[in-house]
Amino acid sequence: MSGTDCYSLAIPVVLPSRLDGYQKDGNTVPIEESFSRSTPSSITSWCYEDTSSSSEAKPDSAIAHGVVVGCRDGSVFVLRSVSQSTPPDISVSLPSPSPPEPTSPPTSPRRHRGLGHPTSRSASPSSVKSALSPFQVTRSRVVSSVSNECAEAPKNYVDFDEEQERLRGMLKGKRSRDRHASTSRTRPEKESTQPGSVASSNPRKEDMRSYLSAALSPSSSTLSLSSPPSPTLVPATSPEPADAHSLKLCCHIFPRYSHSLSPVSTVKVHEGGRYISCLHESGGLSVHATVDGSCIASTLVEVKMKTAPGGKTQPAPSVLWVWRKLLVAASEESIILFACASPDEFYPTNQFLDAGSTDMDTQTLLVAYELSLGQNAMTGDAKLEYLGQWSVNGPLNSIGLRAEHDHSLILFHADPAGHLVSHTLKINDPPLEPAELPDSHSSTHLPLPNPFKALKALSTDNIPETDTNTVPERIEVREGIDHGELGLTEPLLGLRAHDNGTDVRLCAWSAHEILIGKWTHGGLERLPICAVCRVQDVRWSQHESYSVLFPDHLAVYTLPQSPGNGSTPGSQPQLLHTIPLSSYDHATLAPGGNVISTRVKNGRRRIHQADFEAPDSPKDIFRHRALWKARTDAFCAQSQALPRISSVLPMELDLIVLGYTDGHLRRSSLPQSAPSSTNFATSHLALPGPIVALEHVQNPRTGEHLIVGGADDGTIAIWSLDTLKLHARWTMFTTPLARVISLHDSQVGRLHGCVLCVSQDGTIAVVAVDGNQFVYLVPGAAAPLKRICLGENNLLLMYADGRARLWDTATREFWRSMSLDKAVELVQQGGWLEWYVVDGSPAEMYRIATRRSMDRTSERKPTLTSPGYTSPDAASTILLDISALLRQLSSSPALSGTSSTPPNPKKKLEHARAILSILLTFGISEGIDTICTEGLSIRPAPATLGLHSPETLTIVPQPNSSSVWTVSPEASADRAVAILALLHFLTQYEDLVQDANTVMTFYAASIGQLVANHQPPSLPRLAHHMLHAQSAEIRHALRLTFDAGVARLSDTEAAEIVEMWQQYLPSARVEKEREMPQSAKALCICGFIAVDKYTLLPTSTLTDIAKSIALYLHDETSPHRSLAIDLCSRGFQVWQQYVDAVEMLRALFTLATTTKKEAIAVPNIGVQARSAVLQIAANNTPLFMTTLAIDILNPRSVQHRKSIMQLVIFLIRKKPLVLYSNLPRLVEAIVKSLDPNSSASRDAVLDSATEILSHVVQTFPTVDFHMATQRLAVGTSEGAVVMYDLKTATRLYVLEGHKKRTTACSFSPDGRRLVTVSLEESVVLVWKVGSSFTSLFMPGAPPRQGHGGSDPFKTLNFHIGNAAQMSLEATLVNVRFEWTADRSVRLKIAETVLTFST
């Protein structure tokens, strides 16, 4: 499919999950119940200093400001402080926070900004995930983000003595685009002035790279909950926390790779709680914004086959890797993520007896990625770049990172013998590309197209993934250094470290021991082993104290001090404090040694924090805080009584199949489901459990439409779609059905007409639809099933352990097992159909499974799809594609993407109203509500909305209807555009135009004034949609929303936003970066702001914008020409002062007359260019006509002249008044193009010129043509009439009789008389224009009129009163001559008819 087909504006619609449609407090209760029912697999937090405490309080006394809980179903819950509805403003200096990771503090002696700290990045040009929207940026906020150190960093840290050639090369090629490396991540003022601090602003510089290990070890031991903790008595907890200390459930995130077989293993916090990265056990790695859960980058961590010296790939051993841990290191310009995996303990490692295989039980695999958030971490703009992979021989829970004094990164771990081993890591710069010639920004010529430059797709919906098969590895791992034995007598379970700059403290533990050591350059020193058991986790709170988490309590230990302030050798750590803990599902050690835990009590999920009120006190004065508690019992009888939606199968707007927890199917429609009607068609027989994984299939013989699905107990069932009658049922799986694959392609061989029912454990049941027959069962494997390939009679199954199995579908026999690389080679030979099973989310599975059928049938994406999640709050979610919906509502079958008859206008109006009943926000304005309900017949629906980012679904609690406008600028932008686009569709109905326009104005410009904490639509998000939207309604909505957003900006804010984005303009970047989405987005934002506020911007900025427009406009391969045309149309009067305006016009002329076949989509480049030409012609007529005349007289080629003439015809039809005052000039240019002395040129343009003159004569009464004599008369606004001879392409003479504008002229039938009229003078003139004897001797002189001088032959006055007073536009229609004879003519002026004799 084309890139434009891939783009979509998707809005998740969450239907009321209960059968009665009742939804208290919006969707808050379902989300809280989902949280209570979920099983936590990871938890982390971030915090800031408790500013409400006394000034004497220690910084360690911190309150959790946010908590993130990862679950076994792959989803993530984010909770934030109620006092902070938006993320911390990273451009304002904040108190220094504690690191967020639940591990020991950083070991680097230099505290460079890294993960968990307020980012040092300057105010981003994006408002995404920021407390500062594009409409709220102030000068003080931006200035406060730049320190002197940042401004001076380039000159302070360029050392030509160390790396002369390299740095000189970098600086020589450094442009303004590179300066973000030194200004994008600034430090707070107080840190920049600390003695001994070292700043680094030179990106990609090896020796200046500074790292910070924000996670020296995993957040919790892999054995943390090996046995249920025993209940303990705890002191009375404090009362419910005040609002300042409470948390609010912000969002429920379903990352791209979340599913039941991929629990969240690790969550890390970045930039002071602004972003989180999630690692799933299956290898899914994604980065999200905490404010709304939107995904900014994602990839799938996979084992790559190493290349042998001979160039062949080495086969990877058959190991099922489980990704359990994420290490983080931050430099000034990027973040390095290390995904760590260990072999699955239940997988039989040696079953395939790989050659040369070693004991894999102690092996740990690491894969490194570089996370570049950039200046604009909007959806899809950040990226994860693969750096490399390697393995270490040691347990996963012993691996950590630290930074040396020279800023190099050290990876340390324990080997199987219990020795401490360290490796130096070197991250190389990306390979340099060949030097490019300096770019020319001149717009004085059209560059030759590059035939090797492929047309880029417009869509950026899919987050770019790392293609590690072709990217060289950039990370080098030096040989390990053995620092000595740790000293444990039992197998190591965990290792934590803390670095104070001179030495590193180590805490290692086993099942029954714990040991403290000191790691220095001289070696490893150890304290005596302590007998301790049931250790869950350890975190260093200070260099001389650490906290130990047990199942039932928290213990804080301090190291014995010697007179020299060092620890005493041979002494045991001393127990300082103890906090009793209640039983918990999962817990983490927060900064300062606090404990953040979660558990379910009385059916309600709770988040608790346990800490000390006075950490330095010898007494155990501690407190337990309930940071958050669900409001309802998720397991009460009332909650279990009513059935809830467990799965959704949307077929179309009028047909949605709902599966419920009571085992019944119910058929409904979106208009029926949204108002929570209970009049559903229901299946008669119920399955024994909640229905899951519904799929629509068709009987190939009878054509009957069927539904195939299952229950969570492993049951498979087939229903009739029309009657919901249960046709067949089997119980054959031990795990729930995961997905259903319909086999209707001819390539499937004997399985044509069957369905593959895949369970969660990889077992496949083959069922014949015709006759409802169970065919056979393909057993699962020890590893998860990743991919299904089917070709003729071969079924190839690929698994996550690097193995594949080949089955014969004809004989139903297992053929052979092979390695994954061999299986991939087999599939690449062609003839296979493919389906992915566990490499992505259910939504991605659906997308991949339907991609090929959509390609084959040339159909567009469906309007409604189901994400396929089973969580109670997401099971009732439908993804509504607004772009596809508007295509479906289109009256043209071609535009709607179907060959069937489109719905009738009444049905389309019903559909639009049903969607708007979900999208519109009732209860904000009583007047608008009245217009919607009474004028537009739209009534509120109880469904709520989520947020959709690439491959990610976010469910946001919405206690009231207006809360959706307070989530984030991105959520506001999506909803506003969707609402305005559908309201614009309603303007097609005459009786709804006025009300629809009123509501559109409210949502575009006024809603922010009535909603508290309103998040204005994000300009970058709107720009993203504007670059890809195809629907005319969506583009109209985008312009309205964007214009309203620009209008909200103050002069200062507008100038600051343009200043921030200017460095990304295409004219400021090298050629390979000009087509990047960020460059196009920068031009969109800066360009539209400059159109309205150009007086605020400096000349250099306007020049960069104008040059960027010219670059896109002249580049024939650019996918962003539509943007350049739009900006030309709206601001040509601005850009013409800074670039060659004539060349810009000529480029538009070329695009407007292109004959290239265009896709049936909006915007069509040709249509858009013609619209821009009309706009420029109306606003800048002199320049336009000058360029038009020059191009007709002096074209680049004959084809170019022909194209220009076609453009003139278009202008005559659409904007005749634009040409009216310049008509004589235009006609003269056309006449000269027919010069008989240039026969080749005349022959090429003769048809076009003749067509133009025909349209001119028919449209303008001031021009007339006589065929027999080939004479052309043209009246002018000065009153003269010019006579041309088309035989010779010359001007014959000028008749000057009128003193005011000539209104019309006409030849007599014999061509010997010409009559002209001027309504302003109320006079008709008659001229003799036939050939005469004197014209032979006086060429160029007008014929003699029968009397002396140049007076006309006859002058006829008339008086018709006010009828003669009419506009120019009216004269084109209402003034005409009609000849009744050679010497008799009638003049029609509106309703008046005058007859004259000539």
d(CA 991, CA 996): 9
> Cα dist. 307→310, 313, 473, 957 in Å?
8, 4, 11, 49
B/e letters for 183-217, b = 16+ CB within 10 Å, e = fewer, are bbbbbbeebbeeeeeebbbbbbbeebbbbbbbbbb
Query: What kind and span of H or E run contains 595?
Result: strand 595-601
Peptide bond into 263 cis (omega under 30): no
Which residues is 977 bridged to in the sheet? none
pLDDT tier, 55 (very low <50, low <70, confident <90, very high otherwise): very low
Give the span between the Cα atoms of 920 and 978, in whole angstroms: 10
pLDDT, residue 124, reads: 39
Name residue, tokens 């057993």: 779
Q: Are the beta carbons of 297 and 288 closer than 8 angstroms?
A: no
Report which listed range, 637-646, 836-845, 951-960, is most confident. Answer: 951-960
pLDDT grade for 1042, boundaries at 50, 70 and 90: very high
The set of residues, in sequence order, having a beta carbon less than 8 Å from that of 1167 and lying 6+ positions away, is: none
Average pLDDT of the residues in 360-381? 74
pLDDT band at 1333 (very low <50, low <70, confident <90, very high): low
Residue 250: CB atoms within 10 Å: 23
CB 177 within 8 A of CB 1063: yes
Q: What is the pLDDT of residue 562?
A: 60
| Residues forming a β-bridge with 499 | 504
Instruction: Specify the pTM.
Output: 0.80
How far, in Å, CA of 487 to CA of 519, rounded? 13
First to last CA, the chain: 68
CA 1028 centroid distance within chain: 11
Find residue 48's DSSP bridge partners: 63
Residue recorded with tokens 């006589």: 1266
Mean pLDDT throughout 932-941? Answer: 92
**pLDDT: is 1307 or 444 the higher one?**
1307
Tell me the three-class secondary structure of 1370-1395, residue by residue. HHHHHEEEEEEECCEEEEEECCEEEE
Asked whether 76 and 255 are in contact (CB, 8 A), the reply is yes
In this predicted model, what pLDDT tens digit does every residue of 266-288 receive, in sequence order? 999 988 888 999 999 999 999 99
**Residue 199 pLDDT > 70:** no
Average pLDDT over residues 509-517: 93
Mean pLDDT, rounded, of the chain: 78
Contact 767, 774 (CB under 8 A): yes
Question: How far, in Å, CA of 752 to CA of 742, rounded?
Answer: 9
Sign of the alpha-carbon torsion through 738, 743, 744, 747: positive
Q: Are 187 and 147 in contact (CB under 8 A)?
A: yes
Q: Which residues contact 279 (CB under 8 A, 6 or more apart)?
A: 264, 265, 266, 267, 285, 301, 323, 325, 326, 339
| Residues 630 and 616: beta-carbon distance below 8 Å | no
Closest CA to 592 of 544, 547, 654, 557: 547
Please tell me which residue, 1334 or 223, carries the higher pLDDT value. Answer: 1334
Q: What is the distance between the alpha carbons of residues 889 and 572, in angstroms, rounded to a whole number? A: 76
Number of H helices, E strands in the chain: 32, 64
Using alpha carbons, select from 926, 930, 968, 965 the residue that is nearest to residue 944.
Answer: 965
Least confident of 222-226, 930-934, 1234-1238: 222-226
Amino acid at the residue 495: L
Amino acid 568: pLDDT: 58
Put residue 58 in one of left, alpha, beta given phi > 0 → left and psi -120 to 50 → alpha.
beta
**Token code pair at residue 701:** 């013989």
Band (241; pLDDT cuts 50, 70, 90):
very low
Q: Which residue has the higher pLDDT, 192 or 876?
A: 876
Confidence of residue 1394 (pLDDT cuts 50, 70, 90): very high
Q: Which two tokens stand for residue 149?
A: 């150190």
* Rounded average pLDDT over 242-254: 79
Exposed (0-12), middle (13-18) or buried (19+): which is 1024, by Cβ within 10 Å?
A: buried
Q: Which of 529-543, 873-887, 1125-1139, 1177-1191 has the lowest mean pLDDT?
A: 1177-1191
Structure tokens at 378: 């909007």
1116: burial class by Cβ within 10 Å (0-12, 13-18, 19+)?
middle
Dist CA 113 CA 92 (whole Å): 14
**Phi-psi sector, 263: left (phi>0), alpha (psi -120 to 50), beta:** beta
Which strands form 952-955's sheet, in the order they lie side by side? 40-49, 62-71, 76-81, 247-254, 952-955, 947-949
Sign of the torsion formed by the C-alpha atoms of 396, 398, 400 and 404 = negative
Can you tell me the distance from the alpha carbon of 129 to that of 1073, in angstroms, rounded to the nearest whole number? 25
Distance, in Å, from the CA atom of 1266 to the CA atom of 1309, rounded to the nearest integer, reads 8
Q: Helix axis angle, 905-919 relative to 969-986, nearest 10°?
A: 160
Report how far apart, in Å, the C-alpha atoms of 187 and of each of 118, 144, 193, 276, 411 are: 9, 10, 10, 21, 26
User: What pLDDT, on a 0 to 100 scale, did the predictor assign at position 516?
Assistant: 93
C-beta separation of 142 from 1056 below 8 A = yes
Predicted local distance difference test score (pLDDT) of residue 1217: 86
Has residue 213 got a pLDDT over 70?
Answer: no
706 contacts 719 by C-beta, under 8 angstroms:
yes
Residue 520's nearest CA partner among 484, 492, 559 is 484
- pLDDT score recorded for residue 1264: 96
Strand pairing partners for 185? 121
pLDDT at residue 1061 in the model = 92
Asked whether the bond before 1163 is cis by omega within 30 degrees of 0, the reply is yes
Of the chain, the percentage scoring pLDDT greater than 70 comes to: 75
The angle that helices 1165-1179 and 1198-1214 make with each other, rounded to 10 degrees, is: 70
Q: How far is CA 1155 from CA 904, 942, 1114, 1203, 1206, in A?
A: 34, 50, 17, 9, 11
**Dihedral pair phi/psi, residue 655, rounded to 5°:** -150, 110
Output the six-digit token pair for 349: 């490692």
pLDDT of residue 1198: 76
Answer whether 573's CB lies under 8 Å from 560's CB: yes
Q: Which residue has the tokens 């200390």?
A: 245
Which of 1143, 1131, 1117, 1123 lies closest to 1089, judged by CA? 1131
| Among the listed residues 685, 744, 692, the one whose alpha carbon sits nearest the alpha carbon of residue 714 | 692
Q: Which of 777, 806, 779 is nearest to 790 (CA)?
A: 806
What Rg do the C-alpha atoms of the chain give, in angstroms? 37
18/639 Cα distance (integer angstroms) = 9
pLDDT higher at 478 or 465: 478
In this structure, which amino acid lies at residue 383? K
Q: Which residue has the higher pLDDT, 1219 or 980?
A: 980
693 three-class SS: strand
For the ranges 229-233, 541-545, 628-632, the lowest mean pLDDT is seen at 229-233
pLDDT greater than 60 at residue 175: no
Assigned token pair, 219? 């957040």
Q: What are phi and psi of 78, to 5 degrees?
A: -120, 125
pLDDT at 1204: 82
- pLDDT tens, position by position, 729-761: 999 899 999 889 998 877 787 888 899 999 999
Tens of pLDDT, residue by residue over 1220-1250, are 888 898 899 889 888 888 877 788 788 888 8
**Least reliable range by pLDDT among 97-111, 883-897, 1084-1098:** 97-111
Burial annotation 699-726 (CB, 10 A radius, 16+ → b, else e): bbeeeeebbbbbbbbbbbbbbebeebeb
What's the pLDDT score for residue 1257? 93
Distance CA 1386, CA 1369 (A): 21
Task: Lowest mean pLDDT of 446-450, 772-776, 1131-1135, name the range.
Answer: 446-450
Residue 1079's SS3 state is helix
Kindly give the pairing relationship between strand 409-414 and strand 400-403.
antiparallel
- pLDDT category at 679 given cuts 50, 70, 90 is low
Of 263-277, 836-850, 944-958, 1276-1290, the poorest mean pLDDT is in 836-850
